[in-house]
Amino acid sequence: MALKQVSSNKCFEGFQKVFEHDSAELKCKMKFGIYLPPKAETGKCPVLYWLSGLTCTEQNFITKAGFQQAAAEHGLIVVAPDTSPRGCNIEGEDESWDFGTGAGFYVDATEDPWKTNYRMYSYVKDELPKLINANFPTDPERMSVFGHSMGGHGALILALKNPGKYKAYDATQLVKSYSGSRLDILIDQGKDDQFLSAGQLLPDNFIAACTERKIPVVFRLQQGYDHSYFFIASFINDHIKHHAKYLNA
């Protein structure tokens, strides 16, 4: 699967790059950002996948989050895919901001006309990691995932995967029957997040389900912070360190 380099910028002695490729899963061209730390020049590195939220592209995280310094220090390759297929000319794909283009929700659509292109779960679970491992100095045995908003839930879906059932796309339902390897979940939530106050995020439901299953989760409600990338940039180093603790063990 051929990769086309779109951009490359030196950053904290590593390189922040963007690539484009033809996705067999999504039947369109897709872009992803990838940060290669200095350590990647001499050996294999763990990979940390970031899943962005609604309306984002691969650019939001790589230009606004300020994660590269921590990734360089911990020797982590960080991959940030686009959130959705684009330019597929599917009827209705651009009628609203929270469905269609830019809103893949990291799920596989099950009904026409969406199923041909909207297979973001399979893309981020299978196709993208295979592509990354085949073209970059990764250690496939050391991989983790995190994200923001729709992507934060997408990261939990991947960690708690249960394909084949509708509820496999609801992390709160997934965790109730989770019996896999030990997890250690860190969640930061802005207390002034407009989606929290509107009752759309419901983190208490997820925390209660984790508590019931005795799955470790640290939930930090951050006073004064909203849903923006200013919030992400404020706490991204903590999350890089959290993943590095296990990836570099």
Q: Which residues have a catalytic role annotated?
A: 149, 193, 227
- Sheet containing 45-51: give its strands across: 3-11, 14-23, 28-36, 77-81, 45-51, 138-147
Residue type, 86: R
Instruction: Render the burial of 209-244: b for 16+ CB within 10 Å, e for the rest.
Output: bbeeeebebeeeeeeebbbebebbebbbbebbebbb
Answer yes or no: are the C-beta atoms of 35 and 67 closer than 8 Å.
Answer: yes
Q: Is 78 helix (H, G, I), strand (E, B) or coil?
A: strand
Q: Is 124 helix (H, G, I), strand (E, B) or coil?
A: helix
Q: Which two tokens stand for residue 233?
A: 């940039």
